[in-house]
Amino acid sequence: MGFIRRQEIQLTIKFLVWQYQKANIPVPEHSAIEQQAGKIVDDAHCIARERGSNVLSIIKELASDLKKK
């Protein structure tokens, strides 16, 4: 895993933890949240390729959608 991808996953993990805490939802264990973050980053890259959008804004959007489920 490359440096930038690790940074994207770490940023996504922090964002997910913040979203869970903000919604008063118990934060899943680290391995589960890391898997969620990896999927979000992968999805964000696919969407960014299709739309030509910013990956960070897509990660925020996907994490918000995940929190609602």
pLDDT tens digits, one per residue of 2-46:
898 899 899 999 989 998 999 899 999 999 999 999 998 998 888
Dihedral, CA atoms, 69, 45, 57, 66, nearest 10 degrees? 10
Task: Give CB contacts under 8 A, 24+ apart, made by 28-34.
Answer: 34/9
Question: End-to-end distance of the chain based on CA atoms, in angstroms?
Answer: 28
**Higher per-residue confidence, 55 vs 22:** 22
Q: Look at residue 32 in the predicted model and tell me its pLDDT.
A: 94
pLDDT band (50, 70, 90) for residue 69: low
Q: pTM for the full model? A: 0.73
